[in-house]
């Protein structure tokens, strides 16, 4: 068990703050007494709400020594105070520091002492002001007893169990609802898995069929590829032969045309012709190279001309500028001669002699003006230097004057400070006088405050205010009663009529809720009224209608999709039959299936032949016009290039060439027209096959129809699934609507019952009206209440006036004290400034010396500034010389530009001559090159002709070789065999496509069902159903266990409370009978009345406590019926009983002023009872009773026993600090006597 050993106090209230003032108390066993007059600091010895330092040494529940120390520090800052405290816990000499939070210290103390915080605050250590708490008002008493019994924690535990049970019950209901849907999902998932298995079996069968078909297709495809290779080779040979025939014919025609255009064919060998052609090429290249060189020289000459023109333009611009300057100069000459009064210069132009004479006279005049101007400038500069020196001297003199003024001011301040120091020498006597006057005023203020009874008057005013408030409330109640008496004369008749039906209708409401509550909670989540249920049914009906409309629309879409599917399938079959028919037509006409490509090639040939025909048709008119133009003109030129012919023979050669080409045109035109007609006939035949559209059928229409068919199939499956889902939803909604409609009639009746019950409850409120009183009685009572109210108001006004008078007197005395204190503080402050003034005296002396030095230095700075002035004049002379040189350089530049302009004109003229020479040479070279070109064209034609002849021989030989190779192949038999193999292959591919389409449908269905299985509602649906079922069953078991725990804990709390109350009341009865000496009360006890309130269907047990006094068979509440002494005694006994019951690990009990309001007889009996308690508990080694009292007679009564030898006396010393002294109990008797 825990006990306290020692405690030290320092700086708490009246206890001193020095180490020598520290007071130490060693607590005795079993009794420690602290004695002292009021205000000596007895209560501080067991309070820990302090502001300095307290140490407590005690033994914890394990018997170990523990020291708790609370240290506090308060630091004053510029604007506020900083308070800091630290808690230290010392255990077995090891120091542990806690934070400054009081909660941590409280937890440590509770843990160490072994008692709860309420027991520590309300039982063991209870302040004198709160010592009578057992007889306080009901709510406060209940809170304290609940905290002592720890009832709040148990009630919270029960409430937590109840809330947890409700939460688990709600979880079970939610699980039931979820299980219904999870079961549906589980069954639907199982159905989907079975469907997937069926479709996978069908898919495997379809894949086997496709593999068998592909095994027959592959040999046919290989054979068809062999046929295609052979036929492709045949077609290639045929195309090559046709191409060679066409090339051969074209080459023969080209050779013939080339021979006709040539004047004569070279008869020599190929080597001779090649040598002549190469020599001719070298000559032409040499001419062209020379022409290129001339062009480059011409470009260089052009560039040089451009450069010289630019230079000339620049010089002309400068010349124009100089001309303008000349005009300006003439104008200036006339103006200047007029200004200088010089004759002979008023009519330009001027001769050079006139200009030279004018220049000489102006120069002389300018020299004179310059000399005059120079003197003026020097004078101005000299005057400016003098002004600057004067300004600087004035500034220095002003600085000296300012320094002298500052020196005078400092000297005056220094004299003032010395005078202040002389005055302060006699302030000490005045300070003593002010201290005496302040002490006198403070004594008068203290006497006025002590003689003032403001607090008593305020208490009386508060009592009068409460009385006035009660009278006001009574007056208002009477007014309300008057109003009620006037308006409720017929209320009782209505109450009687409504009260009869109240109980019956409430029972009907209860039955209705019990019958339909579960169904409505599942549907709506709460129990609705009629309006809410009707709204829910209406919304559910709208949802049902919407679902029906959606279902009808889905059925309609499903029928439309199935009809569309049959239509697409029929169209697909029709297209496949058309494709089979078109394939044979293409092979018979084109020999291939690519009609568009063959038709495109034929169109290109037609365009070429048409262009050739149009060219030949226009050639006759063109050639005829050219020939007539060449023969009729006097100086004919080429009608194409517009060049003249160098000789008549060249002209005749061109004319004969055109005539020979004109003769060949009719035959060529006839052949071209025949070829054009043949190609147009073939185009018409192919255009007749255009509507067949074989490629469109195979590449576009058939795949599109197949895709549309697959899309429609998927759409049908989706619509079927949605129809099934909507039908399920419609069934659920209709079932819920029927359930709600079945409940609606009873809910309607229940709403009427509830309305009647509200009317009955409203009428029941009228039972509070007292209709036995009449208006005259209430009016008489109102007049009496008003008279009392007026008397009370006048008393309150008188009391307030007395308070104001006393406060005014105290305020006057406080003002006098404050004024004296302020004067004293000001004088003290002035005396403290003495040292500061002395320091300022020293500072001012130093500053005056510094100013003297500054004045001397300023005088030394007044020196001549001639060196700076001379330097400025020299710089001005250099500037003028620089200006003259610039003018001379400008004149030289003008002369130089004139010479450059003349030189540029000369170079430009030479460049133009060179350019003309080069142009003439280039004309001769071009004429030679044109002549050589004609010869070169003749040589090239001969070379081309011989090359074409050799190529023609090669084409003829190659055609004969291909004709032999093609004759060895059996073309007709190959084509027949290919058609048979292709027909078989198409039939097999058609069967394979049908099987693949069916297979793709199966795969899409499987993917759709698997995707649906992967959806959140079907994925792991069985596992979720199983887990949810386990959760619901386990939760139901948890609810049952919570019911058992709730009941067990509730019964345990009841037994514990009953047992403890019996134990406490037995101790109280024994202590009362041994202590109380009166005959009016046999004993007192604590009654705990159980108040079971019903809230939301759950009973909560609440204990209401009261202290009763018993006499015989009669028990009355002590609160308000007992004397002050009985109240004190009963409170002490109850605390002793509670301590004995709840302090099993802590034997400490502190009694603060236990004899307050007790008479002599009860004090003696209390002392006797305490001695008996000490006697019975003395066998416990850690039992400690701590008594704090100012009643030394009570201590003397306790000292008659053998359990107290010493006690502590607390008093104030001469410094008004509390001291604790240990005294013998025997010294108390001599002190009293």
Distance CA 437, CA 1063 (A): 67
Q: What is the DSSP string of 744-767?
A: HHHHHHHHHHHHHHHHHHHHHGGG
Q: What are phi and psi of 179, to 5 degrees?
A: -65, -35
Mean pLDDT in residue range 664-678: 77
Q: With bands split at pLDDT 50, 70 and 90, how would you rate the model's confidence at 867?
A: very low
3-state secondary structure of 727: helix
Higher local confidence (pLDDT), 133 or 525: 133
- The whole-number pLDDT of residue 754 equals 47
Residue ranges with strand state E in 1041-1133? 1083-1095, 1098-1111, 1114-1117
| CB 736 within 8 Å of CB 537 | no
| CB 1189 within 8 Å of CB 1199 | no
- The whole-number pLDDT of residue 533 equals 72
- The whole-number pLDDT of residue 884 equals 52
Burial class, 1136, CB count within 10 angstroms (exposed 0-12 / middle 13-18 / buried 19+): buried
What mean pLDDT, rounded, does the chain reach?
73
3-136+1119-1232 CATH pick, 3.40.190.80, 3.40.50.300, 3.20.20.70, 3.10.20.90: 3.40.50.300
| pLDDT tens-digit readout, 1134-1185 | 888 888 877 777 778 888 888 877 788 878 877 887 887 777 777 666 677 8
Top mean pLDDT of 38-47, 145-154, 333-342 is at: 145-154
- Buried/exposed code over 187-213 (b: 16+ C-beta within 10 A; e: otherwise): ebbeebeebbeebbeebeebeebbeeb
| CB 54 within 8 Å of CB 70 | yes
| pLDDT tens-digit readout, 998-1047 | 778 788 888 888 888 888 777 888 888 888 889 888 988 998 988 898 88
Distance CA 100, CA 86 (A): 5
- The whole-number pLDDT of residue 1013 equals 81
- The whole-number pLDDT of residue 339 equals 61
Q: With bands split at pLDDT 50, 70 and 90, how would you rate the model's confidence at 97?
A: low
Mean pLDDT in residue range 1110-1120: 84
Q: What are phi and psi of 69, to 5 degrees?
A: -125, 135
Structure tokens at 527: 């129990």
Distance CA 260, CA 438 (A): 154
Distance CA 851, CA 855 (A): 6
Query: Does the annotation list 1223 as a binding residue?
Result: no
Higher local confidence (pLDDT), 726 or 305: 726
Burial class, 937, CB count within 10 angstroms (exposed 0-12 / middle 13-18 / buried 19+): exposed
| pLDDT tens-digit readout, 605-636 | 777 777 777 777 777 777 777 777 777 766 66
Distance CA 224, CA 237 (A): 20
Least confidently predicted of 561-565, 584-588, 1067-1071: 584-588
Higher local confidence (pLDDT), 530 or 656: 656
- Buried/exposed code over 319-337 (b: 16+ C-beta within 10 A; e: otherwise): eeeeeeeeeeeeeebbebb
- The whole-number pLDDT of residue 892 equals 61
Q: With bands split at pLDDT 50, 70 and 90, how would you rate the model's confidence at 46?
A: very low
- Does the pLDDT value for residue 12 go beyond 60? yes
pTM of the model: 0.36
Mean pLDDT in residue range 692-708: 69
3-state secondary structure of 949: helix
- Does the pLDDT value for residue 1125 go beyond 50? yes
Least confidently predicted of 102-106, 409-413, 972-976, 1082-1086: 102-106
> Distance of CA 845 to CAs 422, 835, 1220, Å?
18, 16, 61
Q: What are phi and psi of 356, to 5 degrees?
A: -65, -40
Structure tokens at 413: 């301040």
Q: To the nearest whole percent, how much of the chain has pLDDT over 90?
A: 0
Structure tokens at 478: 């009477």
- Does the pLDDT value for residue 42 go beyond 80? no
> Distance of CA 743 to CAs 81, 176, 752, 934, Å?
73, 21, 15, 120
- The whole-number pLDDT of residue 1098 equals 46
Domain ranges of the chain: 3-136+1119-1232, 352-425, 430-486+778-829, 495-572+699-768, 592-688
Q: How many residues does this entry show for the chain?
A: 1233
- The whole-number pLDDT of residue 971 equals 67
Measure CA 74 to chain center: 45
- Does the pLDDT value for residue 1221 go beyond 80? yes
Top mean pLDDT of 188-192, 263-267, 351-355, 418-422 is at: 188-192
Mean pLDDT in residue range 762-769: 52
- Does the pLDDT value for residue 826 go beyond 60? yes
Mean pLDDT in residue range 36-57: 61
3-state secondary structure of 30: coil
Structure tokens at 239: 């195309």
- The whole-number pLDDT of residue 781 equals 77
**What residues form DSSP beta bridges with 86?**
71
Q: Which residue has the tokens 């001012």?
A: 844
Task: Choose among 161, 160, 113: nearest CA to 1.
Answer: 113
Task: Choose among 5, 65, 1, 30: nearest CA to 1184.
Answer: 30
Give Cβ neighbours of residue 797 (< 8 Å, ≥ 6 apart).
Answer: none
> Distance of CA 749 to CAs 518, 539, 752, 1202, Å?
18, 22, 5, 83
Neighbour count for residue 907 (Cβ, 10 Å) = 15
- Does the pLDDT value for residue 841 go beyond 80? no
Prior bond of 767 cis (ω within 30°): no
> Distance of CA 262 to CAs 248, 266, 641, 867, Å?
21, 10, 20, 108
Give Cβ neighbours of residue 1099 (< 8 Å, ≥ 6 apart).
Answer: 1092, 1093
- Does the pLDDT value for residue 16 go beyond 70? yes
- Does the pLDDT value for residue 50 go beyond 50? no
- The whole-number pLDDT of residue 755 equals 44
| pLDDT tens-digit readout, 873-888 | 455 455 455 545 554 5
Based on DSSP, count helices (H) and strands (E) in the chain, helices before strands: 23, 14
Task: Check residue 1148 and report its DSSP letter.
Answer: E
Higher local confidence (pLDDT), 1107 or 386: 1107
| pLDDT tens-digit readout, 398-410 | 776 777 777 777 7
Tell me the CATH class for 592-688: mainly alpha
Query: Does the annotation list 329 as a binding residue?
Result: no
Strand order in the sheet with 94-98: 23-26, 3-10, 53-59, 65-76, 81-91, 94-98
| CB 530 within 8 Å of CB 751 | yes
Higher local confidence (pLDDT), 330 or 760: 330
Torsion of CA 367, 370, 372, 378, to 10 degrees: -140
Q: With bands split at pLDDT 50, 70 and 90, how would you rate the model's confidence at 131?
A: confident
Structure tokens at 845: 């002396």
- Does the pLDDT value for residue 1110 go beyond 80? yes
Prior bond of 310 cis (ω within 30°): no
- The whole-number pLDDT of residue 338 equals 63
């Amino acid at each position: 068990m825990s006990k306290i050993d020692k405690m030290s106090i320092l700086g708490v209230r009246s206890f001193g703050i020095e180490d020598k003032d520290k007071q130490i108390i060693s607590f005795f066993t079993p009794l420690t007494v602290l004695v002292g007059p009021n205000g000596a600091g007895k209560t501080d010895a067991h309070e820990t709400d302090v502001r300095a330092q307290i140490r407590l040494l005690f033994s914890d529940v394990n018997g170990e020594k523990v020291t708790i120390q609370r240290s506090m520090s308060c630091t004053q800052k510029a604007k506020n105070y900083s308070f800091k405290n630290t808690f230290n816990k010392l255990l077995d000499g090891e120091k542990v520091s806690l934070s400054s939070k009081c909660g941590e210290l409280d937890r440590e103390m509770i843990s160490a002492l072994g008692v709860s915080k309420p027991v520590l605050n309300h039982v063991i250590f209870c302040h004198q002001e709160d010592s009578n708490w057992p007889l306080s008002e009901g709510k406060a008493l209940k809170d304290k007893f609940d905290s002592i019994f720890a009832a709040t924690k148990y009630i919270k535990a029960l409430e937590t169990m109840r809330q947890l049970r409700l939460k688990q019950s709600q979880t079970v209901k939610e699980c039931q609802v979820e299980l219904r849907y999870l079961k549906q999902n589980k069954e639907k998932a199982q159905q989907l898995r079975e469907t997937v298995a069926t479709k996978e079996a069908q898919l495997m069968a379809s894949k086997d069929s496709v593999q068998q078909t592909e095994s027959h297709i592959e040999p046919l495809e290989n054979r068809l590829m062999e046929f295609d290779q052979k036929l492709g080779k045949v077609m290639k040979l045929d195309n090559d032969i046709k191409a060679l025939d066409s090339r051969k014919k074209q080459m023969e025609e080209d050779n013939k045309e080339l021979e006709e255009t040539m004047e004569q064919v070279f008869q020599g060998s190929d080597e001779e012709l090649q040598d002549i052609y190469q020599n001719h090429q070298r000559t032409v290249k040499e001419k062209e190279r020379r022409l290129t060189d001339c062009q480059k020289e011409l470009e260089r000459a052009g560039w040089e001309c451009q450069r010289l023109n630019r230079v000339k333009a620049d010089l002309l611009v400068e010349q124009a500028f100089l001309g303008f300057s000349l005009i300006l100069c003439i104008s200036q000459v006339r103006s200047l001669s007029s200004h200088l009064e010089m004759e002979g210069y008023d009519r330009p132009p001027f001769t050079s002699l006139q200009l030279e004479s004018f220049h000489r006279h102006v120069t002389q005049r300018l020299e004179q003006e310059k000399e005059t101007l120079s003197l003026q400038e020097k004078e101005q500069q000299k005057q400016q230097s003098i002004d600057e020196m004067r300004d600087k001297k004035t500034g220095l003199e002003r600085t000296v004057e300012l320094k002298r003024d500052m020196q005078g001011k400092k000297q005056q301040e220094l004299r003032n400070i010395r005078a202040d120091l002389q005055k302060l020498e006699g302030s000490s006597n005045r300070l003593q006088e002010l201290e005496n006057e302040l002490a006198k005023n403070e004594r008068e203020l203290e006497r006025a405050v002590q003689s003032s009874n403001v607090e008593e008057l305020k208490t009386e005013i508060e009592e009068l205010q409460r009385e006035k408030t009660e009278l006001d409330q009574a007056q208002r109640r009477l007014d309300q009663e008057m109003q009620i008496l006037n308006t409720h004369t017929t209320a009782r008749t209505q109450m009687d009529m409504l009260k009869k039906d109240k109980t019956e209708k409430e029972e009907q409401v209860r039955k209705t809720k019990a019958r339909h509550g579960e169904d409505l909670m599942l549907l709506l989540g709460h129990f609705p009224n009629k309006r809410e249920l009707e709204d829910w049914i209406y919304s559910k009906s709208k949802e049902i209608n919407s679902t029906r409309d959606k279902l009808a629309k889905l059925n309609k879409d499903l029928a439309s999709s199935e009809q569309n599917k049959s239509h697409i399938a029929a169209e697909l079959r029709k297209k496949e039959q058309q494709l089979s028919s078109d394939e044979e037509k293409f092979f018979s006409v084109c020999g291939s299936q690519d009609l568009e490509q063959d038709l495109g090639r034929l169109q290109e040939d037609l365009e070429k032949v048409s262009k050739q025909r149009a060219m030949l048709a226009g050639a006759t008119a063109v050639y005829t016009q050219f020939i007539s133009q060449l023969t009729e003109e006097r100086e004919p030129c080429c009608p194409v290039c517009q060049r003249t012919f160098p000789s008549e023979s060249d002209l005749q050669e061109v004319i004969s060439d055109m005539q020979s080409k004109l003769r060949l045109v009719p035959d060529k035109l006839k052949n071209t027209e025949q070829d054009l007609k043949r190609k147009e006939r073939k185009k018409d035949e192919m255009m007749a096959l255009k509507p067949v559209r074989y490629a469109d059928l195979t590449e576009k229409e058939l795949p599109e129809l197949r895709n549309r068919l697959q899309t429609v199939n998927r759409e049908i499956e989706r619509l079927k699934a949605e129809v099934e889902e909507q039908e399920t939803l419609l069934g659920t909604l209709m079932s819920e609507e029927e359930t709600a409609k079945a409940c609606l009639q009873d809910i309607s009746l229940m709403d009427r019952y509830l309305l009647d019950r509200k009317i009955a409850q409203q009428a029941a409120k009228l039972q509070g009206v007292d209709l036995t009183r009449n208006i005259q009685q209430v009016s008489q009572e109102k007049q009496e209440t008003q008279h009392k109210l007026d008397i009370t108001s006048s008393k309150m006004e008188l009391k307030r006036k007395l308070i104001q008078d006393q406060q005014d007197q105290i305020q006057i005395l406080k003002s006098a004290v404050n004024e004296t204190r302020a004067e004293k503080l000001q004088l003290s402050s002035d005396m403290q400034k003495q040292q500061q003034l002395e320091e300022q005296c020293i500072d001012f002396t130093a500053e005056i010396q510094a100013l003297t030095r500054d004045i001397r230095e300023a005088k030394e700075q007044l020196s001549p500034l001639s060196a700076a002035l001379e330097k400025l004049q020299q710089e001005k002379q250099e500037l003028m010389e620089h200006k003259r040189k610039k003018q001379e350089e400008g004149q030289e530049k003008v002369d130089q530009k004139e010479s450059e302009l003349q030189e540029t004109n000369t170079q430009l003229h030479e460049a133009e001559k060179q350019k003309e020479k080069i142009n003439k040479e280039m004309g001769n070279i071009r004429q030679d090159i044109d002549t050589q070109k004609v010869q070169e064209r003749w040589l090239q034609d001969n070379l081309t002709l011989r090359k074409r002849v050799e190529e023609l021989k090669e084409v003829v030989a190659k055609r004969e070789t291909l004709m032999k190779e093609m004759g060895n192949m059996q073309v007709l038999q190959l084509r027949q065999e290919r058609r048979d193999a292709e027909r078989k292959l198409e039939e097999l591919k058609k069967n394979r496509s049908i099987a693949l389409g069916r297979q793709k449908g199966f795969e899409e269905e499987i993917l759709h069902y698997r995707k649906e299985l992967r959806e959140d509602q079907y994925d792991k649906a069985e596992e979720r159903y199983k887990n949810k079922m386990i959760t619901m069953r386990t939760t139901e078991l948890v609810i049952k266990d919570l019911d058992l725990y709730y009941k067990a804990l509730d019964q345990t709390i009841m037994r514990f409370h009953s047992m403890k109350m019996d134990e406490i009341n037995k101790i109280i009865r024994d202590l009362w009978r041994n202590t109380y000496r009166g005959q009016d009360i046999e004993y007192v006890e604590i009654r705990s009345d159980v108040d079971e309130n019903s809230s939301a269907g759950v009973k909560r047990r609440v204990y209401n406590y009261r202290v009763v006094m018993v006499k015989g068979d009669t028990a009355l509440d002590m609160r308000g019926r007992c004397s002050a002494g009985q109240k004190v005694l009963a409170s002490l006994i109850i605390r002793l009983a509670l301590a004995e019951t709840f302090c099993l690990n802590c034997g400490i009990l502190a009694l603060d002023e236990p004899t307050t309001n007790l008479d002599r007889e009860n004090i003696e009996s209390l002392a006797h009872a305490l001695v008996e308690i000490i006697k019975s508990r003395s066998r416990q080694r850690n039992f400690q009773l701590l008594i704090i009292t100012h009643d030394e007679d009570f201590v003397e009564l306790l000292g008659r026993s053998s359990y107290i030898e010493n006690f502590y006396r607390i008093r104030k010393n001469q410094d008004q600090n509390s001291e604790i002294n240990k005294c013998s109990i025997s010294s108390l008797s001599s002190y009293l006597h």
